[in-house]
Amino acid sequence: MINIPKVIDLVVKNDMCIGCGLCIYKCPSQALEVQINDYGFLIPEQISSCDSDGECITVCPFNPFPKEEVKTENEIAEIYFDKATKYQEKVGRYVNIYAGYANEFRLNSSSGGIATYIFTELIERGIVDHVFSVKQSTKPGFYYEYSISNNRKELSEAAKTRYFPVTLATVMPEIHKLKGKVAIVGVACFIKAIRLAQHTEPLLKDKIPFLVGIICGGVKSSFFTEYLASKVNIPIENIKKPQFRIKDLNSTAGDYSFGCSSTDDNSKKLIRMGSLGDMWGTGLFKANACDFCDDVTTELADISLGDAWLEPFNKEGKGTNVIVTRSFLADKILQEGITSGKLRIETLPLDKFIFSQQGSFNHRQTGLSVRIKKTEKQNILVPPKRFGNLKTNISFKLVQKQRIKVRRESLQKWKYHPNALSFDKEMAKDLKLLKRVTRISHYHRAIIKRIKKIFN
C-alpha cells in the first residue's frame, strides 16, 4: 500500500493548499511534485511512494495541527522578532512604519520600488548572494515563476507585482546547491512556510538571512490572467507577457491597467482595471486558503511592503509603498537610504497604516469567524487562527457568505465558460447580490456608529 503524504491528506484534500511548495522541498522521499489543478492553482501531487513520517506537514502554513511553539504567527514572531519592541495585534511585532519610494526603482515597480531597492542593497552590500523572486517563465502556460537573481539587472527584471500563481518549489530544492546566502520575497503564507522550514532545519536560518514580505489581498488563480486577457480579446492560447500593474503617471495610483500581448501579431492591448469593477473585495478567482489567512501585513518578514492606498499618496500615479520594518537590519537599510538620498520615505502613524489596509482587515480578520463556522460544519479542518472568534452582525455575515459563493462560483464558471463575455453574464446575478448586501452592511455599520455616538 502507498502511504499518502500528510500534506495531501490534511491540507490539499480540504482545499486549504496555497501551493507554496515548501512541502516538496521538505519531503525526504521526493514523493511530491507541483502541478496545476483544474481551477488554475498550483498544488502538490503525489508522484511516488511516501516513506516519511509527515515531514511535509511541518512546513505547511495551513497545517491544521501545528506544534504549540509555532501554533500561529504570534508564536513564530516571538521566535524571530523578539527584539522588535512595538506590537499591535492586527499588525504584529514591528520596529517602524513608513510610507515612501525609492528614486531609482519607483517607475519600473508596482508601488514605490522599495522591494527592488532592498534586494539590490542586500546583494551589493554582500549580505546575500542570491535572491529568489518572481520573473518571466519560459515554460508554456506559465507566464511567471520564482527564479534566482544575482545582480541589479536581474533584480530589475524581477520587479513588479504578478497576480499569477507561483511556487517556491521551482527554487527551494536548489537552495543548498547555491554558494552563499539567499533573500526571498513572498506573500504572507509563503513567508510563514519559510519560517517553519527554518524552525525545523536551523541551517536555513543562516542560509536565508532576509525575507521581504508582500502584503497580499489574496492569491489569484491563473483564470484571473485568462479572464483579463479575454477582456482585451486575446484568447488563452495567445497570451504573452501579461502585465498586471501598468501605471498611469498622470493619474492616481489606483488607476492602473492590465496589459497583454498576443502571440498572434505581437500587438499589445490595455484595459484599465477600474473599468472592470471590484476584482479584489469580491474574491473573484481567489484561492480558498486565502479566506483562512489572518496575516494581513506579512508579520513574519524582515520588512513588509504594500501599496499606500491612502491620501495623499494615492493621488500619485508613480506609486508609493507602505512599509513595516520588523528587523533592525531592515530598518538600518532604510535609514541609510534616507540619509544617502536614495529613498524618499517618511514615518507613517500606525492608525494611518491600518487604514490603508482596512478592507483586508475587515475581510480576513473580522470576517474570519463566519467562514470558520461554515467550514467546521462541513467537517473541514481549519488551522488554528487568532481572529476566529470575533462577533459580527447579521448584515456583515451575509456579505461574507455571498463572498464565499462568488469566489467558488467564479472558479467553477470560468472552468466551463472561459470567455469574459459569457463569464460576466453567468456571474452577474451573484455579483449584483454581493453589491446589494455590501451596501446594506455599510448602511447598517453607519447606523450603529451613530447610535453609539448618541449614547456615549
Ligand X SMILES: Cc1cc2nc3c(=O)[nH]c(=O)nc-3n(C[C@H](O)[C@H](O)[C@H](O)COP(=O)(O)OP(=O)(O)OC[C@H]3O[C@@H](n4cnc5c(N)ncnc54)[C@H](O)[C@@H]3O)c2cc1C
Q: Which is nearer to ligand X, 198 or 243 (CB)?
A: 243
The sign of the dihedral angle between the CA atoms of 15, 196, 21, 41 is positive
CB of 162 to ligand X, least distance (A): 4
- If the CB atoms of residues 9 and 154 are measured against ligand X, the closer one turns out to be 154
| Count of other CB atoms within 10 angstroms of residue 378 | 7
Q: Are 383 and 16 in contact (CB under 8 A)?
A: yes
Count of residues in contact with ligand X, rule CB under 6 A: 31
Q: Report, in Å, the least distance between residue 248 CB and ligand X.
A: 16
Q: Is 219 among the residues that bind ligand X (CB under 6 A)?
A: yes
| CA 205/CA 248 separation, integer angstroms | 40
Q: How far apart are CA 306 and CA 324, in angstroms?
A: 9
Does the protein bind ligand X through residue 40 (CB under 6 A)? no
156 near ligand X, rule: CB under 6 A: no
- Which of 215, 229, 293, 420 is close enough to bind ligand X by CB under 6 A? 215
**With contact defined as beta carbons under 8 Å apart, do 196 and 70 qualify?**
yes
Q: Does 109 bind ligand X (CB under 6 A)?
A: yes
Stretch 53-72 residues interacting with ligand X (CB under 6 A) = none
Residue 302 touches ligand X, criterion: CB under 6 A? no
Q: Give least dist CB 305 to ligand X, A.
A: 4
Of residues 236 through 275, those in contact with ligand X by CB under 6 A are none
The Cα 56–Cα 8 span in angstroms is 9
Helix and strand element counts for the chain (H, E): 15, 15
Q: Does residue 187 belong to the site contacting ligand X (CB under 6 A)?
A: yes
Residue 292 binds to ligand X (criterion: CB under 6 A)? no
Residue 107 Cβ vs ligand X, minimum distance, rounded to whole Å: 10
Rounded to a whole number of angstroms, the minimum distance from the CB of residue 197 to ligand X is 16
Between CA 284 and CA 279 the distance in angstroms is 6
Q: Does 160 bind ligand X (CB under 6 A)?
A: yes
CB 225 within 8 A of CB 143: yes
Q: Is there binding between residue 307 and ligand X (CB under 6 A)? A: yes
Report if residue 163 touches ligand X, rule: CB under 6 A: yes
Give the three cell numbers for residue 258: 492590465
Supply the minimum distance, in Å, between the C-beta of residue 28 and ligand X.
Answer: 27
Considering only residues 354 to 383 of the shown chain, the ones binding ligand X according to CB under 6 A are: 360
Does 123 bind ligand X (CB under 6 A)? Our answer is no
Q: Which is nearer to ligand X, 8 or 194 (CB)?
A: 194
Distances from the Cα of 296 to the Cα of 11, 16, 71, 300, 343, angstroms: 21, 17, 17, 11, 25
Quick check: helix, strand or coil at residue 32?
strand
105 binding ligand X? (CB under 6 A): yes
Nearest Cα residue to 60 out of 205, 196, 210, 229: 196
Stretch binding ligand X (CB under 6 A), from 104-112, 170-178, 246-254, 408-416: 104-112
Q: State the alpha helices, DSSP H only, in 159-221.
A: 188-200, 203-207
Q: Give me the residues that bind ligand X (CB under 6 A), please.
A: 105, 109-116, 133-134, 158-163, 166, 185-187, 214-217, 219, 305-307, 321, 360
